[in-house]
Amino acid sequence: MHIPDGFISAPVATVGCVVAGGSVAYAVKATKKKMGEKQIPLMGVLAAFIFAAQMLNFPIAGGTSGHFVGAALAAILLGPWRGILIMTCVLVVQCLVFQDGGLFALGVNILNMGIIASFVAYHIYRGSALFGEGRKRKLIGGGLAAWFSVAIASVACAFELAISGTVPLKIALPAMAGIHALIGIGEGLITAAVLNLIMATRADLLELQKA
């Protein structure tokens, strides 16, 4: 889902930079007000884990592959604003060091994989609490939150490419949504597996995002 340079227009890139910059600035402000002792090291650990996990691809149909995004896991554990900061750090390093996603498109990539994915995942996970608070509910809610975070972020990406004139929406939308619906399954399974491990070892970490 990383958009390289040359695939989006200057207006779309500018809007992406403005939205991403404003959101990151607010996230820094909001995080500083409510930063606990346990949250600081966890943010670093999550950023390192997500960065490493994104380097591992898993096969998808038709010879394509996908990778873990991680925004859902970060948002579930620490809330959407801290999730945005974590994903921004990961995406900036990937862009500047590994050329994974263009510098011109960095704002849009942060918008898709950081902002949209974090808020979608957080609200779906929190909404799933309406159906109970048990372990099974949390795992299913986390898996669904992760799937929707990837799926909706890919739809946003398709619209950005279409608005930029890179590819018609009738082609971009089914292609992006279709392949990322499959990638989202892997995202959901990985997220649920990590949450299951956390519940078994450090269940208190699931309460940090409420702080």
Between CA 40 and CA 68 the distance in angstroms is 23
Tens-digit pLDDT profile for the chain (211 aa)? 789 888 999 999 999 999 999 999 999 998 887 776 667 788 899 999 999 888 877 776 555 557 889 999 999 999 999 999 999 999 999 999 888 888 999 999 999 999 999 999 999 999 987 777 788 889 999 999 999 999 999 999 999 999 999 999 999 999 889 989 989 999 999 999 999 999 988 877 777 665 5
Between CA 77 and CA 45 the distance in angstroms is 12
CATH of 10-210, one of 1.10.3720.10, 1.10.1760.20, 1.10.1370.10, 3.40.50.880: 1.10.1760.20
Per-position b or e across 40-55, b if 16+ CB within 10 A of its CB: eebbeebbebbbebbe
Between CA 178 and CA 12 the distance in angstroms is 23
Residues 6+ apart with CB under 8 A from 37: none
pTM tops 0.75, yes or no: yes
